[in-house]
Amino acid sequence: MAKHKTPLLDQLETGPWPSFVSDLKQEAIKRAKNEKGLELQIPVDVVEDLLGVLELSYKHGRTHWKHGGIVGVFGYGGGVIGRYNDQPTMFPGVAHFHTVRVAQPGGKFYSTEYLRQLCNLWDLRGSGITNMHGSTGDIILIGTTTPQLEEIFFEMSHNMNQDLGGSGSNLRTPADCIGQARCEFACYDTQDLCYNLTMEYQDELHRPAFPYKFKFKFDGCPNCCVASIARADMSFIGGWKDDIRIDAEAVKAYVGGEIKPNGGAHAGRDWGKFDIQKEVIGLCPTGCMKYENNKLTINNRECTRCMHCINAMPRALRIGKETGLSILVGAKAPILDGAQMGSLLVPFVEVNPDDDYQAIKKVVESVWDWWMEDGKNRERLGELIKRQGFQKMLEATGIKPVPQHVKEPRSNPYIFWKEEEVEGGWERDIDAFRKDHLR
C-alpha cells in the first residue's frame, strides 16, 4: 500500500522509542484519505516521497538533497530555507521541499485556536509535517513548494498576526523562558525584553548582513531554562545584586520535613529525610552558606547566584530585590573548535523598560559593530573572540575590564599596558635612573 518499499526505515520502528518513521507513515495515510476534503496545494504523496528518498539515502549512505536556494518571501532574506531534491523524477512529491521558519510566541504560550489555525494552514499549503520546536526554539514547518511561500506568508501576516523567523546570516528568532509570567525566580520580564529586541532589530532579523548567524536568548535566572549560556551568541541571564531573602520559619519547616524540598520533585522514590547540610550547604559551589544553631546564614558577597539553594528550598529562599541581568557572549555549537559556552561580558546591567532598554541595546550594537567589521565570513562571535582575544572585544565595545572578566586567576596573568594608559608614557630620564641603578 505504501508508495515506496522502506525496509531500512521500517527497522527504525522496531526500537524501544517512538519513531519519526511511524509518525511520517501516519501522516502519509492521513493525507491520502484527506477526510476534510482539502484542496491540497502541494502533492498528496509528499510524505510518501519523503519516506522514499530517505530510504534511498540510507541505502546510498548519501543525501539526495541539494544545498540551499530560495530564501524567503518578497523583501525577506531569511525565514525560508530552500531545499530541492536531486531525484525529482523518482520522488516528484518532494522535488521542492522548502522549510519555513515561524517565530514562536514569547515563552511558547500558545492558544489551541492558534495551533489549529497553523496546522490547518500547513495541511492545506504544506506537507503537514512540523517540528515543534527547532533547536533555535522556533516553529519549523517542513516541506512546501515555491508557489506556496507567498500564500503562506500572506495568510500568516494578514490573518494570524504572525511573522517568519530568521535563517541564514541574520539575527535568528529570539527565544525566551516563560519568565515572570509564571516563574518566581525570574529577575526580569524576559518576554518583554525578547519582544522589544525582536521588534527593534527587525532589519537584522529579516535582511542578512552579518558574517554568520547570531542568536539572542533570554533566561530570567541562572537556571537557564532556554540554555542561553550554551546556545546563544548573546545570552541575557537574570540575576540580583543584593542578598538572597531568607524566611527563617520556612527553613525550619524544610528541616523539619513539613515542606518537601525541590517543590516536591524527585518524588519517584524515597530519598530519605531532607538533610540541609548535605543537600544544600554542602553543595553550595562557593561554600558561602552556614547552618548553625538552627539558623541559616549566607555570605552573599561570595554567592555566585548558582540557584541551587533556591531551587532546593524555594519557599524559604528567594532571589534578591535588586534585580537585573548579565550579558554573556560567544556560545556556540561545535563545527569549528568545538562547542563553547558564553563568556561574561557585562556582569550586571539594569533592565529598564521605561527607557526602552537603552543600556542593553548599547551593548548589543557595539558588539555587532565589531563583529560585522572584523568577523570573517562564517565566523561566529565566539570564534572571533577566540581569534582576536577577549581584550580586543573589550576595547572594541568600550567596556572596562573588571575582575569578573577573569576566568580564573593565574592562567593568563599578563596584562599588556599601552603607552597612553601609563602616566608619563614610556619616556624616562635615563641618567636619573642610572644614578640609582648600575648597569
What's the Rg (C-alpha) of the chain? 27
Question: Quick one: which of 78, 220, 324, 330 contacts ligand SF4 (CB under 6 A)?
Answer: 220
Tell me the C-alpha distance between 46 and 31, whole Å.
Answer: 9
148 in Cβ contact with 125 (< 8 Å): yes
Asked if 158 is part of the footprint of ligand HEM (rule: CB under 6 A), the reply reads no
Q: Which stretch binds other proteins (CB under 8 A): 25-33, 168-176, 321-329, 336-344?
A: 168-176
Asked if 231 is part of the footprint of ligand SF4 (rule: CB under 6 A), the reply reads no
Grid coordinates 575590564 are at which residue? 401
The least CB distance from residue 98 to ligand SF4, in Å, is 33
Residues 371-410 that bind ligand HEM (CB under 6 A): 410
Question: Quick one: which of 28, 46, 84, 229 contacts other proteins (CB under 8 A)?
Answer: 84
Residue nearer to other proteins on the CB measure, 339 or 372: 372
93 in Cβ contact with 45 (< 8 Å): yes
In the DSSP assignment, the letter for residue 404 is G
Contacted by 304, from ligand HEM, other proteins, ligand SF4, none: CB < 5 to 8 Å by type: ligand SF4
Question: Quick one: which of 413, 420, 426, 427 contacts ligand HEM (CB under 6 A)?
Answer: 413
Q: Which residues contact 275 (CB under 8 A, 6 or more apart)?
A: none
Asked if 334 is part of the footprint of other proteins (rule: CB under 8 A), the reply reads no
Residue nearer to ligand HEM on the CB measure, 355 or 408: 408
399-406 LR contacts (CB < 8 Å, sep 24+): 399/345, 399/346, 399/363, 399/366, 402/347, 404/344, 404/347, 405/343, 405/344, 405/345
Residues 300-329 that bind ligand SF4 (CB under 6 A): 303-309
- Report how far apart, in Å, the C-alpha atoms of 179 and of each of 30, 32, 137, 229, 340 are: 38, 42, 15, 16, 25
Q: Which residues contact 197 (CB under 8 A, 6 or more apart)?
A: 174, 216, 357, 360, 361, 364
The least CB distance from residue 287 to ligand SF4, in Å, is 8
Asked if 183 is part of the footprint of ligand SF4 (rule: CB under 6 A), the reply reads yes
The least CB distance from residue 221 to ligand SF4, in Å, is 3
Residue nearer to ligand HEM on the CB measure, 249 or 436: 436
Q: What are the φ and ψ backbone dihedral angles of 334, each rounded to 5 degrees?
A: -55, -110
Tell me the C-alpha distance between 27 and 221, whole Å.
Answer: 39
Question: Quick one: which of 270, 373, 408, 436 contacts other proteins (CB under 8 A)?
Answer: 373
Asked if 33 is part of the footprint of ligand HEM (rule: CB under 6 A), the reply reads no
Residue nearer to other proteins on the CB measure, 5 or 66: 66
Q: Three-class SS of residue 238?
A: strand
- Report how far apart, in Å, the C-alpha atoms of 29 and of each of 44, 46, 130 are: 10, 11, 16
Contacted by 413, from ligand SF4, ligand HEM, other proteins, none: CB < 5 to 8 Å by type: ligand HEM
Tell me the C-alpha distance between 371 and 235, whole Å.
Answer: 16
Tell me the C-alpha distance between 152 and 76, whole Å.
Answer: 14
Contacted by 186, from ligand SF4, other proteins, ligand HEM, none: CB < 5 to 8 Å by type: ligand SF4
Contacted by 221, from ligand SF4, ligand HEM, other proteins, none: CB < 5 to 8 Å by type: ligand SF4
Tell me the C-alpha distance between 427 and 222, whole Å.
Answer: 48
Asked if 78 is part of the footprint of ligand SF4 (rule: CB under 6 A), the reply reads no
Q: What are the φ and ψ backbone dihedral angles of 187, each rounded to 5 degrees?
A: -95, -10
Task: Give the count of residues interacting with ligand HEM (CB under 6 A).
Answer: 2
Tell me the C-alpha distance between 160 and 354, whole Å.
Answer: 29
The least CB distance from residue 410 to ligand HEM, in Å, is 4
Q: Which stretch binds other proteins (CB under 8 A): 55-63, 65-73, 120-128, 326-334?
A: 65-73
The least CB distance from residue 161 to ligand HEM, in Å, is 57
Asked if 251 is part of the footprint of ligand SF4 (rule: CB under 6 A), the reply reads no
- Chain positions contacting other proteins, by CB under 8 A: 66-72, 75, 77-78, 81-84, 96, 99, 146, 167-170, 203, 207-213, 368-369, 372-373, 377-378
